Amino acid sequence: MKTPGPDILEAARACIDAANPADKVRLTRAAAEAFRAGSLPVPAAPSEPQPIRAPGRPERPRLVLPREVPQRGLGSIEGRAAFLHAIAHIEFNAINLAWDAVYRFRGMPHAYYQDWVGVADDEARHFAMLSARLGELGFAYGDFDAHNGLWEMAEKTADGGLRRMALVPRVLEARGLDVTPGMIARLRSNGDEASAKILEVILSEEVAHVAAGTRWFHWHCERAGLAPGREFIRLVREAVRGSMRGPFNRPARLAAGFEEDEIRSLETME
């Protein structure tokens, strides 16, 4: 499989720009494998990244406002397909978000790039699993409308790694830790064990992804002389401008590096 670039930054850009979902997955898996093998180095003196722009994406799904994405029950095959499609869309965006974390934030320790290349690889595998399951149900990615909220947060946090690590992994992705157990239970109650098992894999691996966000958020805070818990809540208040929806999956969040005080602050946020 051809290596998608001379170094990991160029490979990341190629993966972000790929519009066809199958190509994005293929390029991501190849880049991650090459990076682990030492074939895609982190350049010692990288140039400045390009300004953030829309990632490559197919013509479908049609992007609409979040409130315009229809809610369907899980009692029908179409309803379960629409539900899985929404999760697949999150994973598709998560591939781009992980690669943008690699591409945009330069001069970081090598372990940082190891973490986010690994996250991109996981997200590509998650998307492929969900796409295959959609196919088994008679549907495909693009068959239902979706929204662009995840990438909009990437655009809002392109100016700094501290804000990116706080607000993408520790807010948007951490929300998945809270809601996925309920999703798994709903799928099982509707007899869809195959889909439930996919979500169990995703949930277990997303804990590590949020933990990577915690690790590098703390790294940035240490260098800026900031108290991580206080700074996190400040950034959340600034970005969310309202209450955070609970309940929170305390065990998963603690495993992902959250402190009890942070969770309590989120629970009482108004």
**pLDDT tens across 193-221, in order?**
999 999 999 999 999 999 999 999 999 99
The Cα angle at residue 20 between residues 17 and 22, in degrees rounded to 5: 115
- Does the structure show a pLDDT above 60 at 1? no
Neighbours of 32 (CB within 10 A): 23
Instruction: Give the confidence band of 242 by pLDDT, cuts at 50, 70, 90.
Output: low
Q: Which sequence spans correspond to the domains of the chain?
A: 8-41+70-267
- Does the structure show a pLDDT above 70 at 270? no
Mean model confidence pLDDT for the chain: 93
Give the residue from 100, 98, 104 showing the smallest Cα distance to 120: 98
- Tokens found for residue 116: 């986010």
Q: Give the list of residues 6+ apart from residue 3 with CB closer than 8 angstroms, or none.
A: 11, 30, 31, 34, 39, 40
- Does the structure show a pLDDT above 70 at 124? yes
Domain 8-41+70-267 indexed as CATH 1.20.1260.10: yes
Distance of CA 195 to the CA centre of its chain: 19
| Mean pLDDT, residues 175-199 taken together | 95
- Does the structure show a pLDDT above 90 at 46? no
Who wins on pLDDT, 5 or 43?
43
For position 73, what pLDDT does the model report?
A: 79
The beta-carbon contacts of 160-163 under 8 Å, at least 24 apart in sequence, are: 160/220, 161/101, 161/105, 161/108, 161/216, 161/220, 162/217, 162/220, 162/221, 162/224, 162/226, 162/231, 163/235
Q: By the 8 A CB rule, do 256 and 173 touch?
A: no
- Distance, CA of 233 to CA of 263 (rounded, Å): 10
**pLDDT tens across 55-108, in order?**
999 999 988 877 767 777 788 899 999 999 999 999 999 999 999 999 999 999
Map residue 80 onto helix, strand or coil: helix
Q: Give the list of residues 6+ apart from residue 87 with CB closer than 8 angstroms, or none.
A: 130, 183, 199, 202
